[in-house]
Amino acid sequence: METVTNQLVSIEKPEIVAPPDWQPVIIGILCNWCSYAGSDLTGTSRLQYPPNIRIIRVPCSSRVDTWFLIKSLQTTADGVLVSGCHPGDCHYISGNYFARRRFLVTKKLLNFVGFHENRIQFSWVSAAEGPKFAKVVSKVTEDIKKLGPLHLYKKENFEK
Amino acid sequence: MDYTKQIQEIATRLFAEDKIDVFVGYRLTGFDDNQVPALIRESKDVPLLVFNQKSVFNLSNYLKNDHTRNKRVGLVVKGCDSRSLNLLLTESQVKREKLYVVGIACEGVVDDAGQKMQNCLECMVPAAVVYDELLGEANMERRFIINADIQDMAAKELVQRREYFEEVFENCIRCNACRHSCPLCYCAKCCIDQETATLYNGANTTSSAFHALMTWSLHLAGRCVDCRNCEKACPSHLPLHLFHKWNERVIYENFQEHLAGVHEGDRGAFYKYSMQDPDDFIM
């Protein structure tokens, strides 16, 4: 069967011109058992990663309701990163399998209505992968910097 | 496709045998050939019932109001309506023993202009899957999923899609008619109405419409049966089916061809998982 949903076109050019001192705001939603411990390890190993990420700790990646992502994009964030345990490592046995399905549909839908796919990113980071976490955050920050500030559907644009 | 006579016979019989308290079907509006849902409580009103290709509404929506709750109900369902009924049964919203379901092997309904509805052209399950009695041929041909407008939209550039949907969210007046007309939106207190959720309520802005419609369509992802009650109810004529069709298509392609409500006991796509689910979008 031919696939339609995997062929979305995404542009690379910035949406609006960023001020010279602009720094992106990235909301990082991390699972308590793997990714949060992983980010902790990154810090204790004294690895550098961009300070643009604001970390929120949740019990499990399946705790991440889809409107966490929508609300983040609608208020302050220029991008969202959700990180959880690798498949098979979930503290609650199967939480990240459920989360994976929701993430795919949310990402595709937001891309469909006009958000660049790099604005919503996901990763699996275990508690032992400090260097990987630093790499992931660097990559996400770089991607968002290329895209520029997000202005789409921002709440403050519509309130007087 | 005209089952008026058969449905009237069935309703008369059910009232005579005292099997139901109320029969939910269609009747004419009285001033044109369009139809509205009818709740028939006595056998003398049965001649009002009609059923033909103008019977567009999904009647399983009427199982959640005070007129039908905790009562013995007779119900007419087409293919898509029976799928949402199946989901309501699976999600413990309706008791099967209180229902008498008249299934229809549907050949497609028409819109106001007399054209066959788009969702009927793309229908995957035309015959009812839950029924006590089936009118028409049970083994109807399953049409291949086309999703023409989804394909057109997906072929567009990101900027074009963004401009198109910005206009859609701008035109939304936040009346929540889509939610009320949806058979699968049965929560007594909707998350969009939470008093603390300041992003949802209050001002009617493009931003809040974006938030409400996205949340709504994601709550229906993997459950929506494409009956298009929401689109018929929308006073701004928003193309709400685009979100649902898109989600349905994503889920159909990626999650083992899942279709909502076709099998009994099958919950939405987000209530189960598989080891083969795609993982390539995750770093």
If you write DSSP's letter for every residue of B75-144 in order, what string do you get? EEE-HHHHHHHHHHHHTTSS-GGGEEEEEEB----B-TTSPBPHHHHT-S--B-SS-SEEES-SSPPPPP
Instruction: Give the position of tokens 């080891």.
Output: B275
Q: How far is CA B279 from CA A5, A101, A103, A124, B255, in A?
A: 15, 9, 10, 10, 12
Taking CA–CA distances from B219, the nearest residue in chain A reads: A66
Inform me whether the C-beta atom of residue B157 falls under 8 Å from chain A C-beta atoms: yes
Q: Supply A52's token pair.
A: 């643009």
Is there a contact between B214 and A70 if contact means CB atoms under 8 Å apart? yes
Residues 6+ apart with CB under 8 A from B244: B217, B220, B221, B224, B226, B230
* pLDDT above 80: residue A6: no
Inform me whether the C-beta atom of residue B174 falls under 8 Å from chain A C-beta atoms: no
Q: What pLDDT score does B76 carry?
A: 92
Is there a contact between A3 and B203 if contact means CB atoms under 8 Å apart? no
Taking CA–CA distances from A132, the nearest residue in chain B reads: B283
Residues of B in contact with A8 (CB under 8 A): 154, 158
Inform me whether the C-beta atom of residue B280 falls under 8 Å from chain A C-beta atoms: no
Residues 6+ apart with CB under 8 A from B68: B22, B24, B39, B62
Taking CA–CA distances from A110, the nearest residue in chain B reads: B214
Q: How many CB pairs under 8 A join A and B?
A: 145
Inform me whether the C-beta atom of residue A97 falls under 8 Å from chain B C-beta atoms: yes
Chain CA centroid to CA B204, Å? 26
Taking CA–CA distances from A62, the nearest residue in chain B reads: B270
Q: Decide if B119 contacts B143 (C-beta within 8 A).
A: no
Q: Look at A17-21, A155-159, B69-73 and tell me which has the smallest mean pLDDT.
A: A155-159
**Apex CA B81: angle with CA B78 and CA B86, to 5°?**
120
Is there a contact between B273 and A98 if contact means CB atoms under 8 Å apart? yes
Closest listed residue to residue A138, CA positions, set A20, A50, A15: A50
Residues of B in contact with A109 (CB under 8 A): 214, 217-218, 221, 243, 246-247, 250
Give phi and psi for A9, each to the nearest 5: -90, 130
Inform me whether the C-beta atom of residue A9 falls under 8 Å from chain B C-beta atoms: yes
In angstroms, rounded to a whole number, what is the distance separating the alpha carbons of residues B244 and B269? 13
Q: How confident is the model at residue B182 (pLDDT cuts 50, 70, 90)?
A: very high
* pLDDT above 60: residue B48: yes
Residues 6+ apart with CB under 8 A from B223: B87, B184, B260, B261, B268, B269
At residue A82, the 3 state secondary structure works out as strand
Q: How confident is the model at residue A8 (pLDDT cuts 50, 70, 90)?
A: confident
Q: What percentage of chain B carries pLDDT values higher than 90?
A: 36
Q: How confident is the model at residue A107 (pLDDT cuts 50, 70, 90)?
A: very high
Pairing state of beta strands A120-124 and A26-31?
Answer: unpaired
Q: Decide if A53 contacts A2 (C-beta within 8 A).
A: no
Inform me whether the C-beta atom of residue B273 falls under 8 Å from chain A C-beta atoms: yes
Q: Decide if A105 contacts B218 (C-beta within 8 A).
A: yes
If one looks up domain A26-147 in CATH, what number appears?
A: 3.40.50.960
**Mean pLDDT confidence for B232-242:** 92
In angstroms, rounded to a whole number, what is the distance separating the alpha carbons of residues B227 and B120? 9
Inform me whether the C-beta atom of residue B146 falls under 8 Å from chain A C-beta atoms: no
Closest listed residue to residue A122, CA positions, set A101, A148, A151: A101
Inform me whether the C-beta atom of residue A92 falls under 8 Å from chain B C-beta atoms: no
Nearest to B158 among A11, A94, A158 (CB): A11
Taking CA–CA distances from A15, the nearest residue in chain B reads: B159
Average pLDDT, chain B: 87
Q: Look at A85-99, B11-25, B202-216, B244-258 and tell me which has the smallest mean pLDDT.
A: B202-216
* pLDDT above 60: residue A2: no
What are the residue boundaries of the structural domains of chain A, listed by start?
26-147
Q: What pLDDT score does B183 carry?
A: 92
* pLDDT above 60: residue B200: no
Q: What pLDDT score does B240 carry?
A: 92
Sign of the alpha-carbon torsion through B167, B170, B173, B179 = positive
Q: Decide if B117 contacts B109 (C-beta within 8 A).
A: yes
Inform me whether the C-beta atom of residue B214 falls under 8 Å from chain A C-beta atoms: yes
Q: What pLDDT score does A158 carry?
A: 67
At residue B27, the 3 state secondary structure works out as strand
Comparing A29 with B121, the larger pLDDT belongs to A29
**A39-57 pLDDT, tens per residue?**
999 999 999 999 999 999 9
Is there a contact between A100 and B253 if contact means CB atoms under 8 Å apart? no
Q: How far is CA B222 from CA A76, B42, B225, B246, in A?
A: 30, 38, 8, 11
Instruction: Give the position of tokens 């909707």.
Output: B190
Nearest to A153 among B206, B222, B246 (CB): B206
Q: Supply B57's token pair.
A: 């509404």
Inform me whether the C-beta atom of residue B256 falls under 8 Å from chain A C-beta atoms: no
Residues of A in contact with B217 (CB under 8 A): 109
In angstroms, rounded to a whole number, what is the distance separating the alpha carbons of residues B29 and B36? 6
Residues of A in contact with B206 (CB under 8 A): 153, 158
**B256-272 pLDDT, tens per residue?**
888 888 888 888 899 98
Closest listed residue to residue B268, CA positions, set A59, A105, A51: A105
Residues of A in contact with B153 (CB under 8 A): 112
Q: Decide if B49 contacts B58 (C-beta within 8 A).
A: no
Choose, out of A1, A3, A5, the residue to mutate when testing the contact with B (most B CBs < 10 Å).
Answer: A5
> Complex ipTM, two decimals?
0.90
Closest listed residue to residue A73, CA positions, set A4, A23, A144, A159: A144
In angstroms, rounded to a whole number, what is the distance separating the alpha carbons of residues B17 and A127? 67
How far does B11 lie from chain A, in Å, by closest CA? 43
Q: What pLDDT score does A126 carry?
A: 94
Q: What pLDDT score does A80 carry?
A: 95
| Helices A66-74/A95-112 angle, 10° precision | 40
At residue A10, the 3 state secondary structure works out as coil
User: Helix and strand tally (H, E) in chain B?
Assistant: 9, 6
Residues of A in contact with B282 (CB under 8 A): 100, 103, 122-124
Is there a contact between A109 and B162 if contact means CB atoms under 8 Å apart? no
**Mean pLDDT confidence for B19-47:** 90
Q: Look at A126-135, A140-149, A151-160, B158-167 and tell me which has the smallest mean pLDDT.
A: A151-160
Q: Decide if B87 contacts B64 (C-beta within 8 A).
A: no
* pLDDT above 60: residue B164: yes
